[in-house]
Amino acid sequence: MRGVLDTADALVLVSSPALDGARSCGSTLDWLAGHGYGHLIQRSVVVLSSARPGASTIDVEQLSQHFLTRCRAVHAIDFDDHLAEGADIDLELLNKSTRRAFVELAATIADDFGGARCRDGRAGPPDQIDFM
């Protein structure tokens, strides 16, 4: 894991909008901070992905605000029957709102591409950044 984290510019952390998921995600952020990877936290995106239909008993907006105090962005992905099947994903079978949520997530992640730094610390446009 250290080899991956040493070369990462940002992280996407996926959590359920439930107490145990939020605690686990928070623990991951704490671990990163305590093991020399704190710089990744501020560039991280948290995804709150619902694995069950219906409303969560957790206030997702409040949970989002909690993670926004530490991370760059938070996105909620509602339950989707096709994703719950657990097989190959056919984008055409996703609910329209689910597809939209993933496009918005991708846009948020891509917004940070120009902000990445070269391994030697120089800022540069994406075509000049060493992505491995």
Is the confidence at residue 91, as pLDDT, over 90?
no
Is the confidence at residue 94, as pLDDT, over 50?
yes
Q: Is 127 helix (H, G, I), strand (E, B) or coil?
A: helix
Give the pLDDT of residue 85: 87
pLDDT digits (tens, 9 = 90+) for 44-58: 999 999 877 866 678
pTM attached to this predicted model: 0.80
How many angstroms from the chain centroid is the CA of residue 10?
A: 9
User: Which pairing describes strands 45-49 and 12-15: parallel, antiparallel, or unpaired?
Assistant: parallel
Indicate the DSSP class of residue 123.
B
Question: Which sequence spans correspond to the domains of the chain?
Answer: 2-118
Cα–Cα distance between 25 and 115 in angstroms, integer? 24
Q: Contact at 8 Å (CB) between 85 and 51? A: no
